Amino acid sequence: MSFQSKSTTRRNVLRFAALTFAAGVAGCATRVAPSKVANVPGADQTAAALPMVNALRAKNGLPPVHADPAATAAALYQAKRMANAGSMRHLMGIGDNFGDRVKASGVRLPAAENIAAHQGDVGAAVTAWINSPHHLRNMLGNYSGIGVAVAHNPSSGDTPYWAMVLSTT
């Protein structure tokens, strides 16, 4: 084998190794597949959360928000993703992007998201968000739409995972 052939072979091996590493990283960083999320039970909790959020906003001199079907779809998707993963996180993996994720549900930006886990009902979830300065700031933000959802994964302890998406409609 000539020197050139060895060099070419080495270059090809290095390219293969780099591509294999990149593919492995990409594989580890994939988002939760929509088909897996569809199998996790979830429920729209917007109607139950709306009076609590609007009472909070009224107390602070702000206009009410209304149920936004796109925000509800985004909240349900996020709650199911967290339940499927068994983890309360806004972002799951390299390349995950809040803006892209909510826009895929039809939410107009700017938007905000509150998440929670382990609260037994919507009142407890909203109370937890009210007691968190960052989450409270989101609920008192310049938004007009809202969606709230909960999801449980029976295969991982049935923990409730909550998501609230606030939108501009």
What would the pLDDT profile of 4-22 be if each residue is shown by its tens digit?
A: 444 444 444 333 333 333 3
Least confident of 44-48, 80-84, 112-116, 123-127: 80-84
User: pTM for the complete prediction?
Assistant: 0.77
Q: Give DSSP secondary structure letters for 59-108.
A: HTT-PPPEE-HHHHHHHHHHHHHHHHHTS--S--STT--HHHHHHHTTPP
Instruction: Indicate the range of 41-45, 69-73, 93-97, 163-167 predicted with least confidence.
Output: 93-97
Q: For 71-108, what is each residue's pLDDT tens digit? A: 999 999 999 999 988 876 776 667 677 888 899 899 99
Cis peptide before 110 (omega within 30 of 0): yes
- Measure the CA–CA gap between 33 and 42, rounded to whole angstroms: 16
